[in-house]
Structure 1
Amino acid sequence: MADKTRNRLRARAARMPGVRFVRRPADDTSPAFDLGYVRTGPASRAPALIVPGGPGLASVLPYHGLRRRAAAQGLDVIMAEHRGVGLSRTGTTGEDLPRTAMTLRAAADDLAAVLDAEQVPQAVVYGSSYGSYLAQAFAAWHPDRVAAMVLDSAMSGPDDHQHVRVYARRLLWDGDDPRTVIAAKLLRGLVHSGTATLQEACEVARIVYEFAGLDTLERLLRERTAGRVHRTWRWLASLGSRETEEGSPFVMEFDLVGRIAHRELNYAPEPDGGPFDPAASLGRAARAFGPFEGAPLDLAAHWRRFEWPVIVLSGERDLRTPRPVAERIAAAVPDGVLVPVPATGHSALDTHGLAALAAVSAAGEGRHRAFAADPGALAALPRIGASRHIASIVRAGIAAETLLPRRLFCGGRGAL
């Protein structure tokens, strides 16, 4: 059944408008394989090369709606299916690519090969989350191919976990920000009372804060303290591991490309035992890929050489790639601007697609400074992106478990 499902999804993805392939040659680490990619919209000299996150997020199926909207705006968009994922998962003989083929340098060279196949001299390179790191690596190794850049939820290197720990703890554990004092106190209370483990409580808090905001987080924590919202809490607690431990063919496939995350980017650093430690949720996955070996390049050493327009998008509620990282990059790049994205968590590409497309247009047209100076323009854009539905689900779950009889949720006769 798994093979049938994969074959069906592969056929569906291959039929999507604009899907093409470029042969990547065999080398010491990989057999030859066909790299899938997609190009949509009216052709232009400098299309947007959009690189999603993960690593492991596919490009062809998950972002069909985004590309359709981009085409309606007259944007020329190219997205490459990451090696080891979806249409780029197997070699010419049909076998999965080996994990040894998964390196940042090879993935960056794949992007250059796609531009070569499309006879595109330069692109507006957009990278989200892990894709922001790959976009910067591409710029460092292929600087002549970059016309402008958008870094969304930007990463800066294998030590980013230090910034994540400090930022998230200050905000939602210590309550140093006056706005988060109540939420932090409630969160600490749940852990200290034994109602939730430290890791579970922090993972739930992060998800709700990013997707639904502080008011919803406070309500959830109050209800959980009162002994309610069991089902909603359990569902939220399960979300964190799904990307890396379960996956979904042609949507999110971490099982091969996780080698990049762990060996080159240090996704699972040594845990420090504190709250909001990114190492805690990724420790199990790390054992499958081996220890961190070192980043293949020092991005900070290249930032001063990024002489094109750069927009750094930073979600107001992003706890995974927090604001201090974005500020550091925007300050170091010669023609960089920081653009806060209001009421948004991680990855505008996935949670606020129209903001992502607006940034692409502004960077490509050299309007990046005017774009940064007009925060109201982003705030006025409607939200698109599948992840935005999480907020509605959380609020509905809290309301249902609060208002409906407790026996429906707690194992009584006819329990849900």
Structure 2
Amino acid sequence: MDHAQQQRLGRRLRRMPGVRTLSRPVERRSGEFDLTYVREGTPGDTPLLIIPGGPGLASVLPYRGIRGAAVRRGFDVAMVEHRGVGLSRTDRTGADLPMAAMTVESVVGDLVAVLDDCGWERAVVYGSSYGGYLAQALGAWHPERVAAMVLDSASSGASGEDLRRRHLRRLFWNGDAPDTAAVASALRSLVADGTVSVADTGLVVPVAYELGGTGLVERLLAAVRRGRPRTWNRIRQLGESEVQRRHPYYMEFDLAGAISYRELGHVRPDGDPMDPHVLFDRQAEGFPEFAGQPVDLPAVLPTCTWPTTVLSGARDTRTVRPVARRTAEALPEGVLVPFENSAHSFLDFHPRVALTAARATANATHRRLPALAARMEGLPRPARSRALPLMLSASVTADRALAAVPVTRPS
């Protein structure tokens, strides 16, 4: 997508119903930019602030479907186009926002500004993945603005990464779980004879497991053993695409990713198998060094007294079950809802679960959800995600992106 095509798509997106802008500082003492957000629903219905993941996922274009579904469930919904992404990417001169403007504090300030612009004193806050970290930060700094919260596959920053690495190794290298023992044995054999590199284990196996469980991983390893590494290589390329390529108005990690390295935690690989940090370490050049997490979540969570639902898929390899359980247990009104056949981000891959959880949490009936998890998980899923396959594809063409935008009103 060239620059002219990007501009054309941007103009069309800004004409969509409910798309609004408000002035925000680029940094504390310099410049302003137009922060974009989208609001859909009926004023007076339950306010719902949805925060997608990333850093780098856009809000306006990828999530039209889920906003419409939320409105039908009685929500007045808002989503913010993250600073440095899509319609909020540039300042008023048209220049990209600087990486220095990418901070959790600034993004949370943007969220509060949108709550103010909507006239919402409090809202149900739904955060997915990195958006879950932002939701927790919003609750830590502005607890008076939160009525209830759903943490979907929510990141806990660097504080959860050791648990994540140990969990992945327990499953896929040690084979401690009954359903992964054969996978671990096959993987160790491929590494031992040099067929698969140690570094690639942490790049490929977690993605394959999320996509298709142990069955897919077993078939993948068997294919590699037979000298057919094409699918293995393709999965590795998918992961690399997430952070290497910019897909305008869908996924733009190149600026917002500064938050990941500077504040969420750049964990160095330790050289052992099944290390999920290899990819981000390879892409670290050009991003800031880790300076520390802006929120002490273990200290803050016990003070968050609103109803909170923590959604966790057993196949989630990014926010693993031990991290989700620790989060739920730290929250006075927290409930862990475990799903056995799901992976990362219900917002992206099972929106019916996401909105069912949001409604129950808004009504403070979230403690009933664990008993309903299997039934919820069995609800029909969309034929395809509206965001992530496009994000991970080799390219997002201008024609394809434009086709996804309805004609709304004349320019």
TM-score if structure 2 supplies the norm length? 0.90
Shift of 1:88: 0.6
Equivalent in the alignment of 2:185: 185
Alignment of 1:164-313 (within 5 A): 164-228=164-228, 230-266=229-265, 268-313=266-311
Q: Does the C-alpha gap of structure 1 residues 389 and 314 become closer, same or farther in structure 2, counting only changes over 3 Å?
A: same
Amino acid at match of 1:253: E
Question: Of 317, 320, 323, which residue of structure 2 is paired with 1:319?
Answer: 317
Q: Is residue 84–residue 102 contact of structure 1 (8 Å, CA) maintained in 2? A: yes
Question: What SS does structure 2 have at the residue aligned with 1:288?
Answer: coil
Q: Whole-Å Cα distance in 2 between the matches of residues 17 and 173 of structure 1?
A: 50
Q: Whole-Å Cα distance in 2 between the matches of residues 89 and 364 of structure 1?
A: 32
Question: What SS does structure 2 have at the residue aligned with 1:194?
Answer: coil
Equivalent in the alignment of 2:131: 131
Question: Of 320, 339, 342, which residue of structure 2 is paired with 1:341?
Answer: 339
Q: Whole-Å Cα distance in 1 between the matches of residues 216 and 387 of structure 2?
A: 14
Q: Deviations over 1:286-323 (max 9, x none)?
A: 22112111111211111111110000000111111101
Q: Does the C-alpha gap of structure 1 residues 340 and 30 become closer, same or farther in structure 2, counting only changes over 3 Å?
A: farther
Question: Of 342, 346, 361, which residue of structure 1 is paired with 2:359?
Answer: 361
Equivalent in the alignment of 1:377: 375
Task: Kindly tell me the number of residue pairs found equivalent between the two proteins.
Answer: 389
Alignment of 1:56-135 (within 5 A): 56-135=56-135
Q: Is residue 30–residue 97 contact of structure 1 (8 Å, CA) maintained in 2? A: no
Equivalent in the alignment of 1:413: none
Q: Whole-Å Cα distance in 1 between the matches of residues 354 and 279 of structure 2?
A: 28
Q: Does the C-alpha gap of structure 1 residues 30 and 84 become closer, same or farther in structure 2, counting only changes over 3 Å?
A: farther
Question: What SS does structure 2 have at the residue aligned with 1:50?
Answer: strand
Amino acid at match of 1:362: A
Name which of structure 1's ranges 43-52 and 317-326 shifts more when overlaid on structure 2.
Answer: 43-52
Equivalent in the alignment of 2:21: 21
Q: CA RMSD in A?
A: 1.8
Q: Whole-Å Cα distance in 2 between the matches of residues 246 and 203 of structure 1?
A: 17
List gaps (5 residues or longer) in structure 1: 394-416
Name which of structure 1's ranges 273-282 and 81-90 shifts more when overlaid on structure 2.
Answer: 273-282
Q: Does the C-alpha gap of structure 1 residues 100 and 365 become closer, same or farther in structure 2, counting only changes over 3 Å?
A: same
Question: What SS does structure 2 have at the residue aligned with 1:307?
Answer: coil
Shift of 1:388: 10
List gaps (5 residues or longer) in structure 2: 393-411
Q: Whole-Å Cα distance in 1 between the matches of residues 26 and 270 of structure 2?
A: 41
Question: What SS does structure 2 have at the residue aligned with 1:23?
Answer: strand
Q: Whole-Å Cα distance in 2 between the matches of residues 198 and 26 of structure 1?
A: 42
| Identity within the alignment, % | 49
Q: Whole-Å Cα distance in 1 between the matches of residues 176 and 144 of structure 2?
A: 44
Equivalent in the alignment of 1:403: none
Q: Does the C-alpha gap of structure 1 residues 379 and 26 become closer, same or farther in structure 2, counting only changes over 3 Å?
A: closer
Q: Does 1:352 align with 2:389?
A: no
Q: Is residue 264–residue 292 contact of structure 1 (8 Å, CA) maintained in 2? A: yes
Question: What SS does structure 2 have at the residue aligned with 1:196?
Answer: coil
Q: Whole-Å Cα distance in 1 between the matches of residues 336 and 45 of structure 2?
A: 26
Amino acid at match of 2:362: G
